[in-house]
Amino acid sequence: MRTTVGIIGGGPAGLLLARLLHRAGIDSVVLESRDRAYAEGRQRAGVLEQGTVDVLRACGAGERMGRQGLVHHGIELRFDRRAHRVDLSSLTGGRTVMIYAQTEVVKDLIALQLADGGPLFFEARALSVEGADTERPVVRFLRGGREQTLECDYVVGCDGFHGIARNAVPEAVRRTYERGYPYSWLGVLADVPPSCEELTYAHSARGFALHSMRSPTVSRLYLQVPTGEDVAAWPDERIWDELDARLAVDGPWRLERGPITAKSVLPMRSWVIEPMRHGRLLLAGDAAHIVPPAGAKGLNLAVGDVVVLARALAALKETGSTAALDAYSTTCLRRVWRAEHFSYLMTTTLHTEPGQSPFATRLQLAQLDRIASSTAAATELAQNYAGLPFG
C-alpha cells in the first residue's frame, strides 16, 4: 500500500490532519489501533480554544459543534472564599472558548473521513516505522491478523505517549523533558445541570476543584486527589461533600447534586520531546508533548501541531519548497513551551502540595489576588487560556 502521508493514530490530531490534507489535495492513510466504538468513546478534554473552533469550522467539522457546543466568554477563579470572573472576550479582543467534548470532535471527524476522505483503518495496530531517515519510510502494521506495510513520503505519529512513533526517533537525537506532580485528578460525570455558568477553578486548603460541564444537563467535575488514589475510595456522597467544601464562597451560590455516571483518576505530568521531527517522521499531539489539564491545552496543542504541519505540506505541494516543513519542529515547540509554562503556572498556583507550607499558600493567594486586581495579569491569563496563534 502506498500513500503520501501515513498517519499513525485516529484521535483528534490524526483525524484533523487527514481532513486538512484532504482539503489540500494531499492523500493520506490513517491507522487506528482500536475499533471505531472505542475511538469514539475515549473520554478526554472538552475545552476548545477560539483557534481550534475556527479550524474545525473551516474544514467542515463545525456543524454539530455549532448546534451543541457551549460558547463561554470567561472563566471564574475561586480562592479565599471569593469568586472572581476573568472576562476572556473583553481582554482578548472578542475571543472565546467552546465547551464541546473531544469525543464529539472525534465522531464528527470520523464521519467526514469515512464520507469523503482517504482510507481510515480501524483495528490497524502500527508495529514499527522503518527508514524514517530515507525518502521512502515504511509503517508496518497488523490488521485482520496479517502484517502489512504502508509506504509513505512522510509518516506522522499522532499515536500518543504510549504509541510507537516517538520511540522511532533514535535515542541519540532525541531529548525529553519531564516533570511529575504529586497529585492527580478524580474526574466525574454527573447527570445534573451545571451549577456554574462558566468553568470554575477553585483553590482551597483542602485541594483544587474544577466545575465544568459537557452540556446544559451534564456536569463534568474534578477534585485533586493523591497520586495513586483508588477511585473506590470515593463514593458519590464523599465526592459531592468535597466539591461543596472546595467550591464554597461567601454568598448565595449552591452546588446542585445528581447521579454520578462515571469516575476515573487522571495522573498529571508535563512532558516534551525534542525535536518533533526526525527525517520524514513527524510527531504531533501527545506523541510529542503532554501538559497537565489545568490549562486546557492538550487537545488545542495537538490542533496547533497539525495545522502547522498541514500548511507546510500544502506549501511543499504547491511550491516545492521544504522551508515550512523544515521549520515544523521549531515552529511548534515555541508554542508548546508557552503552553507548558502556562499549564505549569495554572497547576502550581491552584493545587495544594502534600505538606505545603503556609508561606507557599500565601504565595498562591497573592498570585490569584493579582489576577483579580490587575488588568495586565488577567490579560496574560486570558490570552493564554483563549489560545495563542497557530504558528
pLDDT higher than threshold 80 for residue 118? yes
**Quick one: pLDDT at residue 42?**
78
* pLDDT confidence tier of residue 184, bands split at 50, 70 and 90: very high
State the Cα–Cα distance between residues 82 and 21, nearest whole angstrom. Answer: 47
Regarding beta strands 97-99 and 70-72, do their DSSP bridges make them parallel or antiparallel, or are they unpaired? antiparallel
44 pLDDT band, cuts 50/70/90, is: confident
Report pLDDT digits (tens) over 11-26: 999 999 999 999 999 9
Distance CA 113, CA 365 (A): 47
pLDDT value of residue 104: 95
The average pLDDT across 252-267 equals 95
Q: Quick one: pLDDT band at residue 361, thresholds 50, 70, 90? A: very high
Q: How far apart are CA 58 and CA 52, in angstroms?
A: 10
pLDDT at 68 over 80: yes
With a cut of 90, say whether residue 43 has pLDDT above it: no
Q: Read off the pLDDT of residues 46-62 as tens digits, 9 standing for 90 and up.
A: 899 999 999 999 999 99
The pLDDT confidence band at residue 131, using thresholds 50, 70 and 90, is very high
In whole angstroms, give the CA distance from residue 78 to residue 368: 9
Four-CA torsion 274, 275, 280, 286, nearest 10 degrees: 40
Prior bond of 137 cis (ω within 30°): no
With a cut of 80, say whether residue 285 has pLDDT above it: yes
| Mean pLDDT of the residues in the chain | 96
The pLDDT assigned to 46 comes to 86
Residue 94, classified by CB atoms within 10 Å of its CB into exposed (0-12), middle (13-18) or buried (19+), is exposed
CA distances from 200 to 194, 264, 287, 334 (A): 11, 20, 29, 28
Q: Is the pLDDT of residue 373 over 80?
A: yes
In this prediction, residue 183 has a pLDDT band, given cuts at 50, 70 and 90, of: very high
- Residue 357 in this model has a pLDDT that exceeds 80: yes
User: Can you give the pLDDT at residue 45?
Assistant: 73
In this structure, are strands 218-226 and 209-215 parallel, antiparallel, or unpaired? antiparallel
Distance between CA atoms of residues 48 and 180, nearest Å? 25
Among 36-50, 194-208, 243-257, 369-383, where is mean pLDDT lowest?
Answer: 36-50
At 281 the pLDDT is: 98
What pLDDT score was predicted for residue 6? 98
Q: DSSP 3-state assignment of 363?
A: helix
Quote the cell numbers at residue 282: 513527524
For residue 312, the tally of other CB atoms under 10 A from its CB is: 22
As a whole number of angstroms, the distance between CA 1 and CA 85 comes to 54
For residues 387 and 51, the answer to whether their CB atoms sit within 8 Å is yes
Please give the Cα distance from 72 to 107 (Å, whole number): 22
Q: Which residues contact 339 (CB under 8 A, 6 or more apart)?
A: 291, 295, 297, 300, 301, 384, 388
254: pLDDT strictly greater than 90: yes
Q: Give the pLDDT band (50/70/90) at residue 157.
A: very high
pLDDT at 391 (0 to 100): 74
Given strand 183-190, what is the order of strands in its sheet? 82-87, 74-79, 200-202, 209-215, 218-226, 183-190, 260-266
**Strand-pair partners of 31:** 8, 121
> Considering only CA atoms, which of 237, 213, 243 is closest in space to residue 225?
243
- pTM value is 0.95
Residue 60 CB partners (closer than 8 Å, separation 6+)? 19, 23, 112
pLDDT at 41 over 90: no
Using CA atoms, how far residue 233 sits from 72, 265, 270, in Å, is 33, 11, 26
Quote the percentage of the chain above a pLDDT of 90.
97
Contact assessment for residue 90 and residue 99, using Cβ atoms and an 8 Å cutoff: no
Fold of 183-266: D-Amino Acid Oxidase; Chain A, domain 2 (3.30.9)
**What's 55's DSSP letter?**
H
Topology annotation, domain 2-75+97-180+269-352 = FAD/NAD(P)-binding domain (3.50.50)
Alpha-carbon Rg for the chain, nearest whole angstrom, is 21
pLDDT tier at 229 (50, 70, 90 boundaries)? very high
**pLDDT tens for each residue of 268-282:** 999 999 999 999 999
Q: What are phi and psi of 334, to 5 degrees?
A: -60, -45
Q: Which residues are catalytic?
A: 72, 201, 293, 297, 385
Residue 48: per-residue pLDDT:
97
Pairing of strands 97-99, 47-48: antiparallel
CA distance 101 to 117: 23
Domain layout of the chain by residue ranges: 2-75+97-180+269-352, 183-266
% residues pLDDT > 70 (the chain): 100
